[in-house]
Structure 1
Amino acid sequence: MIQRFIEWSSKERLLIGASLIRVQFALILLTFFILNYGQRDLLWGPDGIWSYGNFLSSHNNGILNLFHFSASNLFFEILFHLFIVILVLYLLGIRTRLTGLLVFIFFWSFYYRNPAIMNGGMNLLRLELLYLMFANTGAYLALTPEKPVRDIMKKSLLEKMIAVLHNVAVMAVALQIILVYFTAGIYKVMGSYWQDGTAVYYALRLHEFYWPGVNDWIWNQTWLVVLASYGTILIQVMFPAFIVHPKLKYFALAGVVSMHIGIAFTMSLFFFSWIMIASEMILLNDEDYRKIKQWLRKLKELAIYFRDHKLVFRYEEEK
């Protein structure tokens, strides 16, 4: 039993999911910082809304980050633009172990420079970037791929330790997501609005999340509000059980992805939803992704088949 566990843990797992997470996290951060490029001085600069003096005197002062080294605006500009370059390298999969470490250090620094503008999704992203520093996120979709050693017998002790560290890291990301959903579901069960199926109604009525026309239509569909409220609780509380089942895991992932798409559009929590959906990519193993690729190939072939036959049918009609 111990020997089988050692052999299992000495081979890197979930490599496709880890690579997909890397690409998505890089895109998320690039989008976030580029969208805020014009107001970067206001958000993170030494004379911005959270001045350098306030930053030093805040309760986060004990957490060392890059901004502690200098208060100059030039230093801030170098950090900001260097972070953009590092994110591009991380996205392209260039030396992912090094760039992954740098992405974590830089995002950690910007996160604590002004944590007031961050949200729960960014907090989760910060934790997962910490785990992913120890994972092989460049096995796929990378210009300089981190090729894993497949033959366990030919691995050195160092390679086995690196593989074990990778597996621990990706499992930490997976467990983090599972715990987030389970604890969120348990808290919802204890709420009276969730118990009577009206929680989604009240959430959509909040002014901060109001989408004129769309939210009005949704909260007037009683069946949809009740279904969304109870369905959210079911999928979150049962998520740990569903995700380990070979068939139900697809149902669970479809459920939470649909939930976050709904949250993104009806509550304007775009980045939060994107981070959650990206994180869920680690919950499918490499074989699952190969099956999905086969399904997509078959769907493409089917679409081509119908397209060609439709053209033939139209040609015969014209004749």
Structure 2
Amino acid sequence: MTRLRARLGDGWNRFWFAPRSTAPVEVLRIAFGLLVTAWMLSLVPILEPFFGLGGVLPERELPFGAWSLFTLIEGTPAIWVLWGAGLLGAVALTVGYRTRLAALVVFVVLLSVTRWGSLAFNAGDGLMRIIAFYLLLMPAGSAASVDRWRADPGNVWSFPRRAPWALRLAQIQLSVIYLSTAAEKLGGTLWRDGSAVSYAVRASEISRLQVPSFVTDSPLLTTTATYGTLAVEIAVGILVWNRVARPWVLALGVLLHLSIELTLTVGFFSSAMVVLYLAFLPPHRAELVLLWIRTKLTVLSQRVPVSNTNRVTTDT
């Protein structure tokens, strides 16, 4: 029993605290920063109609203990200040400038917007808020970032080893999302009888790409799609922890979210889920991705002087 307890304790410590390359964290940071930048830009057409004076979103009282900056700035031009702070935070997070502060700003803005306008947003927006919180806890500016360049210019593209406990929280979050979603769906009649997908793709208010009627009217195809969705969600939630099965179940998850994105208007939900997949990116592959980015940036930086030189020569 003592030996078993010691083995379990060692496994626990390795899982949460054994140092590993921070490259997956940096890839997650960059991808999430780009996603939040797109999210902030998507708010431009709706910010005034939704949150401005006379906006369509009703004034609401938040539950005890809940907060949002919109309780202070509702209906004033300051909503654009909040939006600007969110956009700058997203860009700073992408390039890794004042990374922890940028993650905090993004988290506060996401929380304030989605909590105050909960009727206008969905689970994808809430998931982005959660990812921002986890990034706030991670060493997300330790490499491939402006922060690392300012602190150690010669080692911007070297990847220190840190305890991965915050990244583990994000990984567990992915499993919890899929398993809890599958459990909730199994409690619904439409999912149990195999007709849920047929109803979903025929709902015109959320439809993006019309699915042919021979698919939606076929009990065999719609039942297969419904049960297949449940199977993929359960498989990702469980088998993502198996190194051999992980690439396969994540690939199935990407295909699932691609099909959702093509057929339904679900906002940033599918994009946020796929970004969260990056928490499971193996360190060596994450390093290859970042070094590829370095190569592209180097090539891009070398093109500009050459172009200017050619222009001067031609003008002369």
**Class of the TM-score when normalised by the shorter of the 2 chains:** 0.7 to 0.9
Aligned: 1:38 with 2:45: yes
Q: Does 1:110 align with 2:113?
A: yes
**Which residue of the other structure, out of 275, 279, 283, is the alignment partner of 1:282?**
279
CA distance in 2 between counterparts of 1:14 and 1:182 reads 28
The Cα shift of 1:18 comes to 2.3
Aligned residue type for 2:280: L
Could you tell which deviates more after superposition, 63-72 or 198-207?
Answer: 63-72
2:198 aligned to 194, 197, 201, which one?
201
Instruction: Find the counterpart in structure 2 of residue 23 from structure 1.
Output: 30
**218 and 45 in structure 1: CA distance in 2 versus 1, 3 angstrom threshold:** same
Q: How many residues align?
A: 276
- For residue 235 of structure 1, what is the aligned residue in structure 2? 232
Counterpart position of 1:155 = none
Identity of matched residues, %: 21
Show the counterpart of 1:307.
none
Per-residue displacement from partner, 1:42-92 (whole Å, max 9, x unpaired)? 2222442236xx24xx13474233334445723222222222122111112
Q: Which amino acid aligns with 1:124?
A: L
Counterpart of 1:188 in structure 2 is: 185
Where does residue 125 of structure 2 map in the other structure? 122
Call closer, same or farther: CA 1:112–1:60 in 2, change over 3 Å: farther
1:69–1:270: structure 2 CA closer, same or farther, 3 Å change rule? closer
In the alignment, is the contact (CA less than 8 A) between 2:22 and 2:142 conserved in 1? yes
What pairs up with 1:84-95 in 2 under 5 angstroms? 84-95=87-98
Match of 1:49 in 2: 56
Unaligned runs of 5+ in 1: 151-162, 295-319
What is the distance in 2 between the residues matched to 1:293 and 1:246? 22
Equivalent positions of 1:1-319 (< 5 A) are 6=13, 9-13=16-20, 15-50=22-57, 54-55=59-60, 58-60=61-63, 62-71=65-74, 73-145=76-148, 149-150=160-161, 163-164=162-163, 167-211=164-208, 213-216=210-213, 218-220=215-217, 222-289=219-286
Rounded to whole Å, the distance in 2 between the matches of 1:223 and 1:293 is: 44
Shift of 1:179: 0.9
Work out the CA distance in 2 between the residues paired with 1:209 and 1:71: 29
Structure 2 CA distance for aligned equivalents of residues 196 and 77 of structure 1: 47
For the 8 Å contact 1:30–1:87, the answer to whether it is kept is yes
Tell whether the 8 Å contact from 1:44 to 1:110 is kept in structure 2 after alignment: no
Q: Please give the per-residue CA displacement for 1:196-239, whole angstroms capped at 9, x wherever unaligned.
A: 43321122122223346435353245554233222212122233
- Three-state SS of the structure 2 residue aligned to 1:78 is helix
Letter in 1 for 2:92: L
CA distance in 2: counterparts of 1:192 and 1:72, whole angstroms: 42
Give secondary structure in 1 for the equivalent of 2:146.
coil
Alpha carbon RMSD of aligned pairs, Å? Answer: 3.0
TM-score under structure 1 length normalisation: 0.74
Q: Deviations over 1:237-274 (max 9, x none)?
A: 23343112222111110111111111111112241111
| Unmatched segments (≥5 aa) in structure 2 | 1-5, 149-155, 292-316
Q: Does the 8 Å CA contact 1:12/1:148 hold for their aligned counterparts?
A: no
- Relative to structure 1, the CA distance from residue 106 to residue 177 in structure 2 (aligned partners, 3 Å threshold; closer, same or farther) is same
Q: Secondary structure at the match of 1:73?
A: coil
Aligned counterparts of 1:72 and 1:239: Cα–Cα separation in 2:
42
Question: Whole-Å Cα distance in 2 between the matches of residues 30 and 194 of structure 1?
Answer: 35
CA shift in 2, pair 1:232/1:292, >3 Å: farther
Distance 1:293 1:28 in 2: 17
TM-score, reference length from structure 2: 0.75
The CA distance in 2 between the partners of 1:192 and 1:73, in whole Å, is 45
Q: 1:143: Cα distance to partner?
A: 3.1
Shift of 1:278: 0.9
